[in-house]
Amino acid sequence: MKKSGLLALLALSLSSWAQMTPVGSWHTVDDETGKPSAEIRITSKGNGELIGVIVKSLMPPSERDEEFCSKCTDDRKDKSKIGMEIIRGALQTAGSQQWEGGNILDPNNGKIYRLRLMPIEGGTKIQVRGYIGPFYRTQTWNRVGSTTSTN
């Protein structure tokens, strides 16, 4: 194989691998309407811990919930939802494509759930699962800029 072909193959495989991470920007999907509702940016701290921040609302002003998290019970109480850190502390599980151990806040109801994140469909989507006890709620978020449609 020519050097240029090998480099192209390596670049393609690295870009594919890079997508199998929650790091990036995501569109959440409203449970009731199935429409994109917010953009979340997930970043990694130096220790590999993930944090996720609400970047903007994608809902028309007439359909938005309140602007502040009045139902939050921790340090986020009455803070603006835009700029709010809703994902905290998730770490990659050794040898897997899952991130766990952190939590996720639903700023519309103030509930904090244990968190599991798992990239799916080649990293174009992410399965976000929040747990309270044995019960859980799952959403599928879409990577910003991916060519897949929302569910």
CATH code: domain of residue 80:
2.40.128.520
Answer yes or no: is 150 within a domain: no
Please state whether 138 falls in left (phi above 0), alpha (psi between -120 and 50) or beta. Answer: beta
Q: What is the pTM of this model?
A: 0.82
Answer yes or no: is 149 within a domain: no
Range of the domain at 106: 3-143
Question: E strands within 4-110?
Answer: 24-29, 36-44, 50-57, 85-92, 99-106
| 46-55, 58-67, 122-131, range with the lowest pLDDT | 58-67
What DSSP element (H or E) covers 113?
strand 111-120
CB-CB contact of 91 with 84 (8 Å): no
Answer yes or no: is 148 within a domain: no
- Tell me how far the alpha carbon of residue 81 is from its chain's centroid: 15
Domain count, the chain: 1
pLDDT on residue 18: 47
pLDDT at 70 over 50: yes
Alpha-carbon distances, residue 23 vs 42, 51, 53, 136 (angstroms) = 5, 9, 11, 23
- Tell me how far the alpha carbon of residue 95 is from its chain's centroid: 20
CB-CB contact of 129 with 120 (8 Å): no
Answer yes or no: is 151 within a domain: no
DSSP conformational letter for 59 = S
Residue 44 CA to residue 18 CA, distance in Å, equals: 13
pLDDT at 90 over 70: yes
First CA to last CA distance, the chain: 41
CB-CB contact of 69 with 79 (8 Å): yes
CB-CB contact of 120 with 126 (8 Å): yes
Furthest C-alpha separation in the chain = 61
Answer yes or no: is 127 within a domain: yes
Share of the chain above pLDDT 70, in %: 84
